Amino acid sequence: MSDSPNILFIITDQQRADTIHALGNPAIRTPALDRLVNEGTAFTNCYTPSPECVPARCCITHGQYPSQTRCYGNGSNFPEDRETYMTALSRKGYRTHGVGKYHFAYADHDRTYENNGFDQRERQEEIVRKPEKDEYLTFIRENYPEVTDPHGIRGDMYYMPQPSMLPQSAHPTQWVGDRAVKFIEEQKDSERPWFQYVSFVHPHPPFAPPSPWHKLYRDLDVPPPHRPEGFENNLIHINHFQNRYKRFDKGTDIHRERMMRAYYYASISFVDYQVGRILDALDEQGFTDNTLVLFTSDHGELLGDFGSVGKRSYHEPVCNVPLLLRGPGMVPGGNISTTPVSLIDITRTLLDTAGTGFDTHTAEGENLVDFANRDSKDRTVFTQLGSGGRAIYTAVTRRWKFVYSAPDNRELLFDLEQDPGESRDLCPYVIGRKRESDQALQSLRQELWQHLRDTGEAEQALSGDSWKVYPKQSVPEHPDAGLLYQDHPWASELESIPGYRA
């Protein structure tokens, strides 16, 4: 067995920070994540560098903010001129294995399916141009050829809670868990240190847990959406835009919303079950004392809070994500850190733990192990969605959150200590007044502007010493304008009905 620590990196998709029982949510059952909380350090102020899948994962891959990678949204590409952390770990001698969703995106689509630094990669993606290159879809096609939507029915059912079309044994979450456990078992006699990336598609919508997990929670078991008085005043363009194409802007009801949240919780508990299996495998193979475990998610989900669904927003349920770190002898157990951290810090942690770095560029961020071993401190971290006229820029400290939405030409400020539910935008009340919130506004604005200058975003974001003004954006008045159909690629191929649809 190698003297270098092994590294297990587990990531979910679209999981909010408030979905762990041991961190204060009495309604959800997460015994495996609770174990990581009790045996390691939980960072309760972890923020995604981008509240969207592809750019967030690109940030982790290269250890840089979106303004540096130029990967701004799900339609953007990863940069091709810099290393991945997997390449750096491989160069250091680690066996690198990836299973599940990575969401690579390159202009050359064939490169999207390459290993990009992994010695071995077992793919499971949601939307796939070439199903034959996705190991999970190959498995499903061979064993369940009648299934059209293995990750849940998308399109106009995207935010409708639904049982999976697959049994538990073939569910995408179970498939990832099975292969993660198998990889750990195979390393028992290896002399090389190993790194395993374990990525679950869920609880990303559609919220489609398998039977019997779909009835783990009933609608009355989960808390209702958070809708503070006057929340409509703090919605920005991206909220209205998402609510439209996700079919949430023309009325809903509390029963549907609570059932949606129940199925979301069930999806997380089923992931938690897999995490428990993976931790048990570490124990059984004697790896626990020499393995650094990280658990996080790429971004969160509004889930009906503020009358909205989806990601991409500035709100806490979207930007604040879980981050758990365990490493016996490396990280203190039962520790809560309130230091603001970013998913960018994960990259630096991985590289430092392996004793390596990038040859092509410098990773931003700081080592989470260092943060875990000292008292919490304040710090500013940044979040960005898009660029130019569609951008949302955010700066967050332990107490304050400052937001600028370019499509609205609007600044927002929240005191997260006094108002953790983000019910009151302080900007209208602080302009020109000598008070603490006014000082926070001025300070965070300047910090954010400097960050954008330092990372090459100034031309898109700033005009001199002020925000660059773009035309305001709005949602079309027609209620059916902009609705999105995002069916699984197999759906059109397998859903022909003779005599009804060709």
Q: Using alpha carbons, select from 177, 66, 200, 62 the residue that is nearest to residue 126.
A: 200
Q: How far apart are CA 482 and CA 244, in angstroms?
A: 7
CA quadruple 114, 116, 122, 128: dihedral sign: negative
Tokens coding 137: 């879809």
Query: Are the C-beta atoms of 205 and 246 separated by less than 8 Å?
Result: no
pLDDT at 63: 97
Match 């971004």 to its residue by tokens. 299
Query: Helix 344-354 crosses helix 53-62 at what angle (to 10 degrees)?
Result: 30
pLDDT at 431: 53
Per-residue pLDDT of the chain (502 residues; tens, 9 = 90+): 567 899 999 999 999 999 999 999 999 999 999 999 999 999 999 999 999 999 999 999 999 999 999 999 988 889 999 999 999 999 999 999 999 999 888 777 778 878 888 999 999 998 888 888 899 999 999 999 989 899 999 888 899 999 999 999 999 999 999 999 999 999 998 889 999 999 999 999 999 999 999 999 999 999 999 999 999 999 999 999 999 988 888 877 899 999 999 999 999 999 999 999 999 999 999 999 999 999 999 999 999 999 999 999 999 999 999 999 999 999 999 999 999 999 999 999 999 999 999 999 999 999 999 999 999 999 999 999 999 999 999 999 999 999 999 999 999 999 999 999 999 999 887 655 557 888 899 999 999 999 999 999 999 999 999 999 999 998 988 888 888 887 777 766 667 778 887 6
Query: 119 to each of 195, 228, 278, 344, how far by Cα in Å?
Result: 10, 49, 20, 23
For 243, phi and psi rounded to 5 degrees?
A: -60, -35
Q: What angle do CA 224, 225, 231 make, to 5 degrees?
A: 145
pLDDT at 211: 97
DSSP letter at 330 equals: T
Pick the CATH number of 6-379 from 3.40.30.10, 3.40.220.10, 3.40.720.10, 3.40.190.10: 3.40.720.10
CA quadruple 126, 129, 133, 139: dihedral sign: positive
Q: How far apart are CA 420 and CA 428, in angstroms?
A: 18
Q: How far apart are CA 340 and CA 376, in angstroms?
A: 9
Query: Are the C-beta atoms of 89 and 8 separated by less than 8 Å?
Result: no
412 strand-pairing partners:
403
pLDDT at 242: 92
Q: Residue 379 half-sphere exposure, CB side, CA atoms within 13 Å?
A: 18
Residues 6 or more apart whose CB falls under 8 angstroms from that of 419 comprise none
Over its C-alpha atoms, the chain yields an Rg (Å, rounded) of 22
pLDDT at 478: 87
Query: Helix 172-186 crosses helix 135-143 at what angle (to 10 degrees)?
Result: 120
pLDDT at 130: 83
Match 């942690």 to its residue by tokens. 349
In 298-315, which positions are buried (b, 16+ CB within 10 angstroms) versus exposed (e)?
Answer: bbbbbbbbbbbbbbbbbb
Task: Annotate 138-173 with DSSP letters as a single string.
Answer: HHHHHH-TT-S-TT---GGGTTS----SS-GGGSHH
Task: Annotate 98-147 with DSSP letters as a single string.
Answer: EEE------SSHHHHTS-TT-SEEEE--SS-S-GGG-HHHHHHHHH-TT-
pLDDT at 494: 66
What number of other Cβ atoms are within 10 A of residue 445's Cβ?
18
Q: How far apart are CA 242 and CA 247, in angstroms?
A: 8
Query: Are the C-beta atoms of 321 and 46 separated by less than 8 Å?
Result: yes
| Helix, strand, or coil (residue 72) | coil
Strands (E) across 226-277 are located at: none
CA quadruple 455, 456, 460, 461: dihedral sign: positive
Q: How far apart are CA 112 and CA 440, in angstroms?
A: 42
Strands (E) across 251-305 are located at: 291-297
501 strand-pairing partners:
497
Residues 6 or more apart whose CB falls under 8 angstroms from that of 121 comprise 97, 98, 99, 102, 115
Q: Residue 164 half-sphere exposure, CB side, CA atoms within 13 Å?
A: 25
Cα torsion for 86, 92, 95, 101, to the nearest 10°?
-10
Q: How far apart are CA 452 and CA 406, in angstroms?
A: 14
